[in-house]
Amino acid sequence: MLYSQIAKIILPIIIIALIGFIFGKLKKTELKSMADFIIYIASPALAITQLSMQHMTIPEIFSISMSAALIILGLGAIAWLLFKITKTAVPNGIYLPIMFMNSGYIGYPLVLFAFGGEGLSKAIIFNMTNAILVFSVGIYIISQGKDRWQFLKVPFIYAAVLGILLSLTGLKLPPFIYAPLYLLGATTIPLAIFMLGSSLAKTKINSLKLPLLASVLRIGLGFCLGLLAVFLLRLQGVTANMVILLSSLASGLMPIAISEEYDRDSDLIASTIALSTLISVATIILILKWLTI
């Protein structure tokens, strides 16, 4: 049962990415336009529609957001220190697939399967924190700090704030506004997966050493920091299990959109996302078994 459920979650990612790969080989794909659509239109719409439909409290938002921030920023700091100590010269882009996990497309169905609706509502808060940091810290890293206020130009931040306010106040968007936003937001994840496949079609992989190291750090170190976050914040029950599971997932998809937007390190990021996703098929099974014993 466990294996079939995980296969149902991972297999669509592989199929959509494969379609994108084949399309990228056969047709000239404008990845920059795709990235613009995801960053400036689809992902903000997704943030508003997902968050506005949740019923959350401020303490709940704070504790889960703190756990996500601790894991993501901790990964970046440890990876930076590791590369410094070993005197390994790496491009800035490698930090993105190490720090940011696929807490949405893979995370949501996994948490729903393992921990039910209660777990899913908490996973949404975790994922939104992940996404906010992608579009702030992630952009700062990939742009090499040249425009530290660039994230303020990204509408996702404001969409997330609006979604949280709607959730806390209980206000609802009018149907004629919610419906088109929902449709736009629903394109975010499949389009990002398709873009990953198209990007891989153009990727020149000279070595798998760095993508493999990044994948191990993302999954292995992410798991360790998830345990640390649970301990430090005294998380319990479903919340604790959700944090541990999401912290150890494969690299997220948004870094590929950001790398295409800024035209930096796309090959390396795409390779790491693909490799970590394949590795995570095995690690997800082990972690779920451990959490549900």
How remote is the C-alpha of 102 from its chain's centroid?
4
How remote is the C-alpha of 218 from its chain's centroid?
11
What is the model's pLDDT at position 293?
A: 61
Q: Which alpha helices (H) appear in 172-253, and where do they start and end?
A: 175-186, 188-201, 209-216, 222-232, 237-247
What is the model's pLDDT at position 205?
A: 66
What is the model's pLDDT at position 201?
A: 81
- Residue 1 predicted with pLDDT over 60: no
Helix axes 43-52, 155-169, angle to 10 degrees: 10
Q: Render pLDDT for 148-199 as a digit per residue (tens, 0 to 9).
A: 666 677 788 888 888 888 888 888 899 999 999 999 988 888 888 888 788 7
Please give the share of the chain, as a percent, with pLDDT higher than 90: 32
For the chain, the average pLDDT equals 86
Q: Which residues of 183-205 are buried (b: 16+ CB within 10 A; e: fewer)?
A: ebbebbbbbbbbbbbbbbbebee
What is the model's pLDDT at position 231?
A: 95
What is the model's pLDDT at position 146?
A: 66
Domains within the chain, CATH numbers bracketed? 2-291 (1.20.1530.20)
% helix, strand, coil for the chain, step of 5: 80, 0, 20
How remote is the C-alpha of 263 from its chain's centroid?
19
Q: Render pLDDT for 267-276 as a digit per residue (tens, 0 to 9).
A: 888 889 889 9
Report the alpha-carbon distance of residue 208 to residue 251 in Å, rounded: 15
Question: Whose structure tokens read 């393992």?
Answer: 114
Q: Mapping DSSP to helix (H, G, I), strand (E, B) and coil, where does residue 265 land? A: coil
pTM of the complete model? 0.83
What is the model's pLDDT at position 66?
A: 96
What is the model's pLDDT at position 145?
A: 67
Cβ atoms within 10 Å of 118's Cβ, excluding its own: 14
Q: Render pLDDT for 83-105 as a digit per residue (tens, 0 to 9).
A: 999 988 899 889 999 999 988 87
